[in-house]
Homo-oligomer: A and B are copies of this chain.
Amino acid sequence: MSLDCVLLGLLSRPSSGYDLKQWFSRAFHHFWAAEPSQIYRTLGRLEDHGLASVEETPSLKGPPRRVYRRTKAGRAALRAWLRDGPSMSDTRQSQLAQVLFLAELPKDAQRRFLRALLREYEARLEDLLAVAAEVEHHADPARAPSEDEFFRRLTLDAGIQQYQSWIDWIDRAIQHHAAWSATEDEPTRSAQGRD
């Protein structure tokens, strides 16, 4: 239900499914991912419900673009969603679940896992910083940002800070893990092959 709202938000400018896909792989990717198939289907649903309208226009390359724009009802739905207050979705972080069960692996595999996690987050942070730099580059430093710009930067900042916070956490985790491995170095029960 909330991908519908996200698309309605993005449709502040008329866009094709393909256009929207680009947003999802760039400025956005740190807090919402969506596959083309899902985007196209959701756009169809929006149209069915009268929240968006389509217009087919020829494209320079390939098949004609189906450009969606939101209707009055669409805008109303979006605003209702926003006015309802924060919709706190349950985040599923399988990496953390994996950390919780890491006792199932031997110590060196544990260390490898934590290091791999660190590298993952570092890579993601780097990607996001590149996006942020690009946004910054397009901006006019003399003027106060527009509303859209202001909030786009806020969400970028959120992502950057989240990743930095993860990296800090894993750094400390790796250190604690090393220290604790040293104190507890008799072979442990749970790393053995029982079951």
In chain A, positions 39-76 with a C-beta closer than 8 Å to chain B are 70-72, 75
- A161:B152 contact, CB within 8 angstroms: no
Would A173 and B154 be within 8 Å (CB), given that A86-B113, A95-B86 are in contact? yes
CB <8 Å contact, B195 and A116: no
For residue A177, which residues in chain B have a CB less than 8 angstroms away from its CB?
150
Asked if residues A72 and B180 are in contact (CB atoms below 8 Å), the reply is no
Q: Are B120 and A86 in contact (CB under 8 A)?
A: yes
Does A5 belong to the interface (CB within 8 Å)?
yes
What's the interface size class on A, roughly? 35 or more
A155-179 contact mask (Cβ, 8 Å, vs B): 1 or 0: 1011101100110110011001100
**Nearest CB of B to A167, in Å:** 11
A37 at the interface (CB under 8 A from B): no
Task: Give the 4 A-B CB pairs with smallest separation, nearest first.
Answer: A9-B101, A103-B147, A33-B90, A165-B165
* A residues neighboring B (CB under 8 Å): 2, 5-6, 9, 12, 31-33, 70-72, 75, 78-79, 81-83, 85-105, 109, 113, 116-117, 120, 144-148, 150-152, 154-155, 157-159, 161-162, 165-166, 168-169, 172-173, 176-177, 180, 183-184, 188, 190-191, 195
